[in-house]
Structure 1
């Protein structure tokens, strides 16, 4: 019931509590087994057992209601910190009922495995030594369970999700209309048909600020920003799709723009419109953004089921665009930048061997809400400067790479910032960034160090418990206001202004772009 990174609805709280109950019971059983294995078998009297049970019941009668009340109170504090409306605390009375049900289901599954192991042990016992029979039986039961879940149920669920998502991909979001500007894929002038772009692709090419909107905000004349895209069904391989994107870049004249951005999308092909729009405002419309879809799966499922496709797509698209840029005369090349959010950040970084490779091959990058399993992010974070916190590392004194939760963090106390500039944008309350299997048994540095400003001071690490809390925080990680969790918004204006440093750009320009993005004026 203790607080974690984000507010939890009572249903998710019940699941977290139920898993914790089952885990605690399992650990108790393990300790009891270890004690008996050492030859210790206490023979308590009936009176002592009775006293023990009544003591336990009395403690539970006090502790359980107390923590239900405290848990609901902690959640209200967490909601205030995240800028989310408070809820009726009476809902937390239902947590105990559902939590017990979850715990019973988990316990039943565990006992089913135990019974299966015992049955197989009895079959094997006449033929092999008893200890070996037990080990073999346990391995067989676990193997059967894994094969059943991973090989049958897992594939069925992922297959159904993929088919469902594929069908939904043919739809178009409300209010999205086919662009007529030749600077956009899917327009009448484009080789990429409107229907082939997928739902998110159509939303991407039809969106963004117009030349007029950019001029109104920046006070400078602006061309129409270029957006090119290839859908999942446009080619047989990601490499072929990347070449189609490059063809679109050539068709639209993207290589004549001052800024060319390679965006790696999330699972279904989504590009954060605020991040893309902020880049276009900051570049004064003299920009082109290239992206492509590599999956039908929603990001939560792709997060679990498919971590290869984002990497393949990220490498294929960046390398294809990079080759095209390098084929131009050196003085006629656009500034080549990269960005991506969540799985897009993970996939986009896969095109590089690390921070120095990004510095060598780009003119800047913005990685947003990077998942914890991203190798480049993990390495950079682990090798941060001594004394800097894990939630906002300092790398080589901030020479090229900087971490920020908001625009103000980029200043780094006035330290000089060389170009190219690489920014990792992440929030202290984002479970996507902090979720790891290591949370099961190891307290991370971000919970040893001073907590982020949007975390309850009562957040603590508890073995097993914290892992499940953060796991369930991920479910609604994007359903909070910008600046918290996995929601990234108008601060993209500050990020791109510092990365691109347009000539003559001022803080007032950044403020106007920030306001435009906050108002969704695109």
Structure 2
């Protein structure tokens, strides 16, 4: 414990230095709809590296209108960094004040985003949400650590769970005070360690259905409690790599855009969707690999896993562990890089009125064009 705590303190201190820097191209917002602006209760300097990146990027109303071919609102992005206030409760107070100041409860959707370790929010996911809703949206996130996701995953998962539980709980509590007929849809998005933080806010599927209006979780770690329970209880005959739970009535699992519609049975609201690649080591790495062959290595391989992969005691554990180091450094649609599949996932979960397949492809083209221009970046 002494050695672990000392190492943790050293790493936390080391990574806190990057938190004080700002990514090239990230500039202080001037619009009142963003935290860090002159009107904000959260100062630009307090947001941290990832917070400043989150509030300064994304499309504005004119860009959203051009991409969708219809009028758009200026999207709201609310964020609190570790330096925004002295403790979690105080940061959440700032979050609620920011949501009220920006008019977030007057938008059509309010999306709570429990973050990864450093406070990172996937820029592709944020843009997808705002495109689908034409900017009539509010995104809210908060930083809880200085550590990158892979270190937080190994050393600080309890902190992630506590942060997710606190953020979703406080926003939901304030949301309930709005009139039922006018309050926005309350939705949850999470990626990687953010899914673990998000899951911690709920006791199970029943609690999710009573609390929010939809959930999209991408690249869930194998240690996620709810994910593990659902996969273990999957319908007989469905594979671990793409399970079917209760005939897809409430929760579904998909590995690409095409499989989101499976099974072709009714999907009740609120919808819960997990997107996971067969080749994503974050999803399949587990200490159990040391001594036990998992179902996913006994069944037919998933769409992008090598058929030649075999299970060997100890060896497979270290092979998959090694893949964690470069899980996102692969082409879109493989490993821990989900690309624009998050757009398809969001359309499925939110299923906005009047949205068409052509709308999805226009939004995808806009996201890809922005990424090609180099105005959005991957997690650090």
Normalised by the length of structure 1, the TM-score is 0.70
Q: Check conservation: 1:337, 1:365, Cα contact below 8 A.
A: yes
- Equivalent residue, structure 2, for 1:262: 112
How far is the alpha carbon of 1:413 from its aligned partner?
Answer: 4.4
Deviation at 1:416, TM superposition (A): 1.5
Contact 1:171 1:199 in 2 (8 A): yes
Question: 2:244·2:263 contact (CA, 8 Å) conserved in 1?
Answer: no
SS in 2 for 1:264: coil
Which residue is 2:46 aligned to? 196
Q: Please list the CA deviations of residues 180-216 of structure 1 after superposition, one character each: whole Å capped at 9, or x if unmatched.
A: 1100000011011000000000000011111112111
Please say if 1:151 is aligned against 2:2. Answer: yes
> Does 2:247 align with 1:408?
no
Which secondary structure does the structure 1 equivalent of 2:370 belong to?
coil
Which residue number corresponds to residue 369 of structure 2? 519
User: Secondary structure, in 3 states, of the residue corresponding to 2:139?
Assistant: strand
Q: 1:490 aligns with which of 333, 340, 344?
A: 340
Name whichever of 509-518 and 317-326 sits farther off. 509-518
Partner residue of 2:239 out of 363, 385, 389: 389
**Aligned with residue 35 of structure 2, among 185, 202, 212:** 185
Q: How far apart are residue 300 of structure 1 and its match?
A: 1.4
Q: Give, in whole Å, the separation in 2 of the partners of 1:449 and 1:516.
A: 38
| Structure 2 residue matching 1:467: 3-state secondary structure | helix
RMSD after superposition: 1.2
Secondary structure at 1:336 match in 2: strand
Query: What secondary structure, in the 3-state scheme, does the structure 2 residue paired with 1:494 have?
Result: helix
Deviation at 1:156, TM superposition (A): 3.3
1:366 aligns to what?
216
For structure 2, the residue ranges without an aligned partner over 5 or more in a row are 376-380
For 1:241 and 1:308, how far apart are their aligned partners in 2? Answer: 18
- The 1-side partners of 2:226 and 2:244 are apart by 15
TM-superposition CA deviations, 1:253-272 (whole Å, max 9, x none): 00000000000011010001
Alignment of 1:250-329 (within 5 A): 250-329=100-179
Deviation of 1:164 after TM superposition, in Å, equals 1.4
For 1:229-248, what aligned pairs fall within 5 Å after superposition? 229-248=79-98
CA distance, structure 1, for counterparts of residue 189 and residue 263 of structure 2: 25
Asked if residue 474 in structure 1 is aligned to residue 324 in structure 2, the reply is: yes
Alignment of 1:338-357 (within 5 A): 338-357=188-207
> CA shift at 1:454, angstroms?
1.1
> For 1:339 and 1:291, how far apart are their aligned partners in 2?
10
**8 Å contact 2:218–2:342 — kept in the other structure?**
no
Distance in structure 2 (CA, Å) of the matches to 1:391 and 1:166? 37
The residue matched to 2:210 in structure 1 has which SS? helix
Q: Check the 8 A contact 1:355/1:380 in 2, yes or no.
A: no
Summarize deviations over 1:461-482 as a string: whole Å, max 9, x none: 1111101101111011111011
Structure-2 separation of matches of 1:307 and 1:236: 21
Q: Is the 8 A contact 1:249 1:255 kept in 2?
A: yes
Tell me if the contact between 1:364 and 1:499 (Cα under 8 Å) persists in the aligned partners: yes
Q: Secondary structure at the match of 1:303?
A: helix
**3-state SS in 2 of match to 1:454:** coil
- The offset of 1:414, in angstroms, is 2.3
The answer as to whether partners of 1:278 and 1:492 remain within 8 angstroms in 2 is yes
The answer for the alignment partner of 2:378 in structure 1 is none
Once residues 205 and 368 of structure 2 are traced to their aligned partners in structure 1, the CA distance between those partners, rounded to angstroms, is 31
1:439-458 alignment, distance < 5 Å: 439-458=289-308
Distance (whole Å) between structure 1 residues aligned to residue 170 and residue 311 of structure 2? 44
Tell which structure's C-alpha radius of gyration is larger: 1
State the secondary structure of the residue aligned to 1:366.
strand
Map 1:5-44 → 2, pairs under 5 A: none
1:396, CA displacement in angstroms?
A: 1.0
- 2: distance between equivalents of 1:456 and 1:307? 30
In structure 2, what is the Cα distance between the partners aligned to 1:520 and 1:281? 13
Q: Could you tell me which residue of structure 1 aligns to residue 271 of structure 2?
A: 421
Distance in 2 of aligned mates of 1:487 and 1:256: 33
Range 484-493 or range 262-271, more displaced: 484-493
Distance in 1, matches of 2:93 and 2:274, equals: 28
